[in-house]
Amino acid sequence: MTAKAELEQAPSPIERLADDLERKLIREYGICLSGVALSRSLGYRSIGTMRQAIKHHAVPVPLFPIKDRRGKYALAGDVARWLAAQRAAVGLPDTNSQGAEGGDSA
């Protein structure tokens, strides 16, 4: 494989972050999030705040019902990609310049 082909196939930092977040969300909550898990993952202060966002069609990820179940659901992957995009909007840290611990210097 050529170096160019490897670069084209290598995931971007935002894709790696989204994949990592998706794995963590699935491990913690399963493939679908709803209720408090969804509310917290999207950064709402309370489930009531998320309900208001649902009412006003202001939830940043696609929601869907599941037959014979109460509430709205979102896929962990959709939530992970949205979170990664929010983080990327303020800039991703340069992981190449961090020390062995990978922590913040602040």
Average predicted confidence (pLDDT) for the chain: 86
Residues 46 and 83 sit within 8 Å (Cβ to Cβ): no
Query: Using CA atoms, how far apart are residues 106 and 52, in angstroms rounded to an integer?
Result: 36
What pLDDT, in 10s, does the model give residues 56-87? 999 999 999 999 999 999 999 999 999 999 99
7 within some domain: no
What pLDDT, in 10s, does the model give residues 8-25? 788 899 999 999 999 999
| Total tally of structural domains belonging to the chain | 1
81 within some domain: yes
21 within some domain: yes
69 within some domain: yes
Query: Using CA atoms, how far apart are residues 35 and 31, in angstroms rounded to an integer?
Result: 14
What is the span of the domain harbouring residue 70? 13-90
1 within some domain: no
2 within some domain: no
Query: Using CA atoms, how far apart are residues 43 and 37, in angstroms rounded to an integer?
Result: 10
